[in-house]
Amino acid sequence: MDWKFVLREKGISPTFQRLQIIAYLEENRVHPSVEMIYNELKNLIPTLSRTTVYNTMKLFQSSALVKPILSENNEIHYEFNMEPHAHFECTECGKIYDVFEEFEFIKDKIVDGHKVTEHQISLKGICSKCLEEKNA
């Protein structure tokens, strides 16, 4: 994937740090927190500062490259966002899965007089793995 091009398209200058962060997000769809991103990448970029990660995530968020989501214990994690899709968070193990199944989407609808331009669906429950373990 040509992240340089993607960032330029969004008017974001493609610095080394930003490129590493976006590549990390794309390759590891684990919905990391700022701290997780910082810890993973400081091996690769020893001078990396937390501030840069904060700034970058804010920048990416305002360009809709990422979306913040709340984890079970109210921590902010980021997903690398492309398609409109839902999340499934397991109440047993805490893992957050992407769900690509399409639901009744409502983009551009008018709801209670408000014009919808974005939407997000969050699901919670027990994931397939934990279900298996319970039944074992």
Partner DNA sequence: TGACATGTTTAGAATTATTCTTAAATTGTA
Partner DNA sequence: TACAATTTAAGAATAATTCTAAACATGTCA
Which residues sit at the interface with a second copy, rule CB under 8 A? 61, 68-70, 74, 76, 86, 88, 90-91, 97, 99-101, 103-104, 106, 111-128, 131
CB 9 within 8 A of CB 41: no
DSSP code at position 100? -
What's the CA gap between 21 and 118, in Å, rounded?
24
Least distance (Å) between residue 122 CB and DNA: 18
Length of the chain: 136
Least distance (Å) between residue 105 CB and a second copy: 9
Q: Give whichever of 55 and 122 is closer to DNA, judged by the CB atom.
A: 55
What's the CA gap between 75 and 98, in Å, rounded?
18
Which residues contact DNA by CB under 7 A? Answer: 12-18, 33-35, 45, 47-52, 54-56, 58, 73-76
